[in-house]
C-alpha cells in the first residue's frame, strides 16, 4: 500500500513551534536586550539588511553564521550567549552571561553590543533593557535597600512571579546609559529554564509595551485632525435641512470630507491594528507571570492599569471616533443622494409635463395645418376639376358658377379622405 505523502510545509510548520525556545539563564547573571525598528513602514522593510547587521555582529566575535533567510538564531559571542529574532516590525538581540558586576547595571555590560554597531543598525532602538539576576536572600526584606537605591521609588514595581519562584523589580525608566533596568531575585534552586522564561517575558513586556504605545502619538495627531473635520461634518448635516441650498453642492463638500476620512482610516489602520495586537500581548505577558504582591509594593498589573491602560484607551477612542465619523459621513451621503434623486425626479416630472404640453400643442398645430392643407388643396383641386368639367357642363346647359359650386363639396370630401388616409398610413 502506497504511504500517504506529507504536505510540503508540514515539517517546517512543526519546526516553527520549537524554533524560539526560552534561553537558559543561571543566577547570578546579567542580560542585555536590544530591539531595533525601522521608523517608517517597518513591516515592509528590507530584511536582508537585518540579516547583514546580525552577521556584522557575529563577525566581530568570530561566531558562526545562521542559515540564509533565517528568522531566528542562537549562538555564542564571546562569553555571552546570543539569541536573535526577526519579527514583523522589529528585530531583537538578547545576550546573557553568568556573573554580575560590582557596580549594579554597569553600562560596560551593555558593551556586548558595540555603540558603533548599534549606530549602523537598519533602524532605531525601540527598547533597550539591562537585567541583573541575583539569588534571593533568606530574608526577602534584605533587598529593599537595593530596590530603593537602584530604582525611582515613585514608579517602582516589584512583585513575586511564577508562584513565588522569583521577585522582579523595575521602574520603567531609561537610565543615563539609555537602558531600562530590571532586577530579578530568584530563590535558590530555581532552574535555568524558569529564569530564562522570566527574563524573556520581561523583555517581551517592555518591547510590546513600547510598540503598542507607538499608536498613542498617531492617535493624538488623528484627534487633532478629527477635531477640525467634525464641525465641518456637523455643519454639513445641519445644513441639509436648508432646502434652498443645492443638494449637489452639499454632496460635493461631503465627498471632500469623506475622502479625507477614508484616507485617514487607511493611513492609521495598520498602526491601530498593531497597537491592539501588541496590547493583548502585553496583558498576556503580565498575566502569565502569575504575580503576587511583594512586601506591599506596586504590582506590574497595577502599574499598567494606571500608566499604560489610559494610553491604550486614547488609541481606542481615536479609532472609534474615526469609525463613527466615517459612519456619519456615509449616512449623510445616503441622505444627500436620496435628496438629489428626489429633486431630479421632480425635475424629470416637470420636464415630462412640459413635453406633454408641447406634444399637445404640436398635435393641435398639426390638426390646424391639416385643415388648412385640405382647404388649400381643395381650392386648387376645385379649380382643376371645374376646368375639366366645363365642356360637359356647357353641353348640359350649366354655367361656370353652377359647375364650380357643384364640384366644390365633392372635391373637398375627396381631399379630406385622402389626407386622413395618408395620416393613418404614416401612423402605422
pTM for the model stands at: 0.77
37 within domain boundaries: yes
127 within domain boundaries: yes
Last residue of a domain, one of 211, 233, 259: 211
Say if residue 397's pLDDT is above 90: no
Which cell numbers in the block locate residue 226? 478629527
Mean confidence (pLDDT) of the chain = 87
Domain count along the chain: 2
Q: How confident is the model at residue 191 (pLDDT cuts 50, 70, 90)?
A: very high
Convert the pLDDT of each residue in 245-283 to its tens digit. Answer: 667 777 788 888 999 999 999 999 999 999 999 999 999
The stretch 225-244 carries a mean pLDDT of 83
Burial of 315 (0-12, 13-18, 19+ CB in 10 A): buried
d(CA 344, CA 396): 73
265 within domain boundaries: no
d(CA 303, CA 283): 12
| Higher pLDDT pick, 408 / 170 | 170
Which cell numbers in the block locate residue 290? 502569575
Q: How confident is the model at residue 370 (pLDDT cuts 50, 70, 90)?
A: low
In this prediction, residue 379 carries a pLDDT of 66
39 within domain boundaries: yes
Convert the pLDDT of each residue in 30-74 to its tens digit. Answer: 999 999 999 999 999 999 999 999 999 999 999 999 988 888 999
Answer left, alpha or beta for residue 7, where phi above 0 means left and psi between -120 and 50 means alpha. Answer: beta
Residue 75: domain span: 21-211
5 within domain boundaries: no
Assess whether the previous peptide bond of 28 is cis (omega < 30° from 0): yes
Using the Cα atoms of residue 347, residue 353, residue 356 and residue 358 in order, give the sign of their dihedral. Answer: negative
Q: Which residues of 161-199 are buried (b: 16+ CB within 10 A; e: fewer)?
A: bbeebbbbbbbbeebeeebbbbbbbbbeebeeebbbbbb
Say if residue 343's pLDDT is above 90: no
| Higher pLDDT pick, 383 / 281 | 281
Last residue of a domain, one of 188, 211, 234: 211
336 within domain boundaries: no
Q: How confident is the model at residue 171 (pLDDT cuts 50, 70, 90)?
A: very high
Last residue of a domain, one of 184, 211, 238: 211
Amino acid at each position: 500500500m502506497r504511504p500517504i505523502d506529507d504536505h510540503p510545509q508540514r515539517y517546517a510548520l512543526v519546526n516553527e513551534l520549537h524554533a524560539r525556545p526560552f534561553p537558559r539563564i543561571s543566577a547570578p547573571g546579567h542580560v542585555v536586550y536590544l530591539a531595533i525598528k525601522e521608523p517608517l513602514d517597518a513591516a515592509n522593510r528590507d530584511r536582508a539588511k537585518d540579516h547583514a547587521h546580525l552577521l556584522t555582529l557575529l563577525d566581530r566575535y568570530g561566531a558562526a553564521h545562521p542559515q540564509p533567510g533565517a528568522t531566528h538564531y542562537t549562538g555564542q559571542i564571546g562569553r555571552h550567549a546570543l539569541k536573535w529574532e526577526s519579527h514583523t516590525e522589529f528585530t531583537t538581540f538578547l545576550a546573557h552571561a553568568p556573573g554580575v558586576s560590582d557596580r549594579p547595571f554597569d553600562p560596560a555590560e551593555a558593551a556586548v553590543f558595540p555603540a558603533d554597531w548599534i549606530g549602523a543598525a537598519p533602524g532605531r532602538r525601540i527598547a533597550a533593557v539591562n537585567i541583573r539576576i541575583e539569588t534571593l536572600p533568606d530574608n526577602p526584606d534584605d533587598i529593599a535597600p537595593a530596590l530603593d537605591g537602584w530604582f525611582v521609588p515613585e514608579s517602582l514595581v516589584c512583585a513575586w512571579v511564577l508562584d513565588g519562584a522569583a521577585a522582579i523589580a523595575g521602574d520603567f525608566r531609561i537610565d543615563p546609559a539609555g537602558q531600562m533596568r530590571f532586577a530579578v531575585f530568584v530563590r535558590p534552586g530555581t532552574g535555568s529554564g524558569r529564569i530564562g522564561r522570566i527574563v524573556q517575558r520581561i523583555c517581551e513586556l517592555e518591547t510590546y509595551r513600547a510598540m503598542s504605545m507607538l499608536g498613542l502619538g498617531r492617535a493624538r495627531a488623528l484627534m487633532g485632525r478629527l477635531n477640525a473635520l467634525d464641525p465641518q461634518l456637523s455643519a454639513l448635516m445641519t445644513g441639509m435641512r436648508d432646502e434652498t441650498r443645492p443638494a449637489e453642492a452639499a454632496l460635493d463638500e461631503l465627498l471632500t470630507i469623506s475622502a479625507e476620512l477614508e484616507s485617514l482610516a487607511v493611513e492609521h489602520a495598520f498602526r491601530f491594528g498593531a497597537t491592539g495586537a501588541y496590547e493583548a500581548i502585553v496583558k498576556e505577558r503580565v498575566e502569565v507571570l502569575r504575580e503576587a504582591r511583594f512586601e506591599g509594593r506596586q504590582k506590574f498589573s497595577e502599574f499598567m492599569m494606571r500608566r499604560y491602560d489610559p494610553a491604550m484607551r486614547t488609541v481606542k477612542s481615536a479609532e472609534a471616533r474615526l469609525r463613527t465619523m466615517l459612519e456619519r459621513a456615509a449616512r449623510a451621503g445616503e441622505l444627500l443622494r436620496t435628496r438629489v434623486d428626489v429633486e431630479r425626479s421632480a425635475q424629470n416630472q416637470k420636464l415630462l409635463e412640459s413635453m406633454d404640453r408641447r406634444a399637445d400643442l404640436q398635435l393641435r398645430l398639426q390638426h390646424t395645418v391639416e385643415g388648412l392643407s385640405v382647404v388649400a388643396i381643395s381650392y386648387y383641386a376645385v379649380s382643376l376639376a371645374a376646368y375639366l368639367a366645363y365642356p360637359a357642363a356647357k353641353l348640359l346647359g350649366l354655367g361656370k358658377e353652377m359647375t364650380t359650386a357643384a364640384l366644390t363639396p365633392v372635391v373637398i370630401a375627396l381631399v379630406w379622405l385622402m389626407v386622413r388616409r395618408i395620416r393613418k398610413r404614416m401612423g402605422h
